[in-house]
Structures are given as C-alpha cells and as structure tokens.
Amino acid sequence: MTGFANEIAMLRSLGNTERVIRLHDWEQKPDHILLVLEQAETDLKEVFVQLMKLVSTENPGAPPGVPLQAVVFYWDQMLRCVKVLHDQRIVHLDLKPQNFVFVRGVLKLIDLGISQRLPDDCTRINPTVPLGTLTFMSPEQLGASELSAELSHDPFWNPDTVSETRLTLGRKSDIWSLGVMLYIMVYGRTPFPQATEQSRMLAIINPHLPIEFPPVRNHGLYKALQRSLVRDFRERASVDELLSFGYV
C-alpha cells in the first residue's frame, strides 16, 4: 500500500491547486485504503479517441491525429497541470492521457502513486527500479542515463550496457512523457511503434535510432516535439520553456 500512502501525501500537499485532483477524504483498512476523490467526467485518452474518430469520419482522406487547433488547446492545459507539480519540485513519473482528467471542464492530474518530490538540494532522484508506463517512459526511466548519453557518439553502442547504468530521474523525465503524448495528438501514432515491449524499450533508449518528425503546420508544436523528445535529458526543454513557445 506504499503507493496509496504516497499518493495521499502528495494530494494533501497539493490540496490548494486547481490542476490536481482533490482528495476529499481517506480511510485505511487492514488490507486496503479507501480514497474519496473529486469525480471526473472523462480523461484525455477518451477525448483523443473521439476526436480522431470524428476526423476520420468527416474527412476520410485526412491524416490521422487530433485537429491542430484542439492540439494547441489541450497541450497548453497539459503543460499548466505539469507546471503545478514541477513548481513544487514534484516529478509525476507516469504521465499519460489516462492520468489527465476533466473535472467540471478543468483539466487535472491524477494517479500520483509513484510521484516523487525532489530534495531541496538536488534536481534529480535515483529510484532502484524503473517507474512508469512503457509507451510514455523516458530513456532515463529505462536505465539510459548519463552513460547512454556519452555513448550516443559511440558507433559500437551496445544496449546491454544500459543495465549497468543508474536510474536518474527528474522533471525532464516528465517532459519526455509529455512529448510522447503530443506526438500521438499530432501524428495519430506513437513515436515508437515497435511490436514487442522489448523492441520498443530498445528503440526508446537507442541513441542511434532517429525519431521521425514529419512536417507540422504549426511551428510552435513542431519545436515542442523536437525539444521534448530528446534522449539526452539535459537537452530537453523545461515546462516553462514549452509554455513560452508560440503556438498560434
């Protein structure tokens, strides 16, 4: 029940924000914990699915993805949710469409069970096991940390060396996850469509496998994609930088 205890602590500390689901009450039983949360109407995954269906129905020849005007709106709202956490030195570590929900029209974050608060004297943490959902996990969440960044220029790079690295996570890990979600909205697919989990994992951490960025009719979104999906976390944009890009 460690995850629930962590979530309760996080939600209580964020009780005054409008961008995180509100915890009304909780009760601990011998074998489980009850949480009473705000009721959400829907999540972003369902919104994206419905928008993509609408596009394919009304414009059969249109490229897959969410209409760019809607992408700009939802992207801005997602960034504002994550900014609340990052300003409080909290890294979510499991950002995905299902964990963004609407409560009376306001987009909010949920599922902070594996979230971590950064100590005041550092910007990164070192968990002992990988955390997150594979499709949205950053290279460093899979073990590709500073060492794999150094190996990015090594033509003899071997994915087996990643197992020797230490997990090193921070706010930029959330930025990668946001980038994957933006990629799905814009292109209607994930940046790593490999069939198996193992091949997808290796694709995410492989510094020699380029990520494809087809042209986008919105310079700000295109720039955000390129600045979010960078394998070296030190080169990724911060949430404040992403908010400063022009998306009109």
- Mean pLDDT across 129-152: 72
* Average pLDDT across the chain, whole number: 87
Closest residue by Cα to residue 87 from 16, 181, 2: 16
Instruction: Give the chain's count of helices (H) and strands (E).
Output: 8, 9
Residue 127: the pLDDT is 55
Measured CA to CA in angstroms, residue 169 lies from 57, 91, 97, 232 at distances of: 41, 8, 20, 12
Catalytic site residue from 94, 111, 120, 154: 94
Kindly tell me if the per-residue pLDDT of 125 is higher than 80.
no
Catalytic (active site) residue 94: yes
Rounded to whole angstroms, how far apart are CA atoms 101 and 27? 23
Give residue 151's pLDDT band: very low, low, confident or very high (50, 70, 90): very low
pLDDT digits (tens, 9 = 90+) for 19-33: 999 999 888 877 778
> Is the Cα dihedral 183, 79, 76, 244 positive or negative?
negative
Give residue 15's pLDDT band: very low, low, confident or very high (50, 70, 90): confident
pTM: 0.87
Rounded to whole angstroms, how far apart are CA atoms 164 and 154? 16
Residue 78, beta-bridge partner list: none
Residue 27: the pLDDT is 85
Sequence-ordered strand ranges (E) for 33-173 = 33-37, 42-43, 90-91, 100-103, 106-109, 116-117, 124-125, 169-170
- Mean pLDDT across 51-59: 90
Residue 123: the pLDDT is 54
